[in-house]
Amino acid sequence: MFAAIKEQHKGVDVCINNAGLSHSEPLLSGKTSSWKNMIDVNVLALSICACEAYQSMKERNVDDGHIINMNSLCGHQVFSLADAHFYSATKYAVTALTEGLRQELRAENTHIRATCISPGVVKTEFMSRLYHDSPEKAKVFNNFSLLLQPMTAIDVASAVTYVLSAPPHVQVCALLSFSCSFI
């Protein structure tokens, strides 16, 4: 992927790591293969993309780039939902990885910034995919989400725009965002 970006666009100045998935696999009864899949996508792929983006910026002397890791409120609080406990563990890893990345970028004396954006419930197909094999659980979640007015993709895009528009001397380390009806 990064070779194609280099060929077509010379490289990466901004990387938004937005891939993520969850499986309904509690800690006491979950499948190892599903846990591994979540680690591969939510943790390893994000880390590989951040590393590749940094290398692209470094080789072209880009000193004002940005790496944004899309996270989740589940990366800051463990909710009472057994199906999401392992997912939360991967998202806590994203929180730690983003802070580690920010510290390493600073140690390299670069002005490349790293930010973790952690939205709450967003109206996407995420939950329907999670509960594709359990219509009862999907229905419960959908009824719950109607009560709290989930964020939209535009809301999340606005958070990204806010972070990218911060002045060069401002480092937005983390941005937690959720619908006001949630609080």
87 within a domain of the structure (yes/no): yes
The Cα 97–Cα 86 span in angstroms is: 17
Predicted confidence (pLDDT) per residue in 55-86, tens digit: 999 999 999 999 999 999 999 999 898 989 99
**Above 70 in pLDDT, residue 126?**
no
- Nearest in space to 101 (alpha carbons), one of 157, 9, 173, 40: 173
- Nearest in space to 43 (alpha carbons), one of 97, 86, 83: 97
**Above 80 in pLDDT, residue 119?**
yes
118 within a domain of the structure (yes/no): yes
User: What is the count of structural domains for the chain?
Assistant: 1
Other beta carbons within 10 angstroms of residue 140's beta carbon come to: 12
Query: Which stretch of 87-91, 140-144, 176-180 has the lowest confidence by average pLDDT?
Result: 140-144
Strand ranges, E, within the chain = 14-17, 66-70, 113-119, 174-177
Q: Which structural domain, as residue segments, surrounds residue 106?
A: 2-177
183 within a domain of the structure (yes/no): no
The Cα 22–Cα 164 span in angstroms is: 27
Q: Is 54 considered catalytic here?
A: no
182 within a domain of the structure (yes/no): no
* Among 54, 87, 92, 131, the one annotated catalytic: 87
CATH of the domain at 53: 3.40.50.720
- Nearest in space to 156 (alpha carbons), one of 110, 130, 105, 122: 122
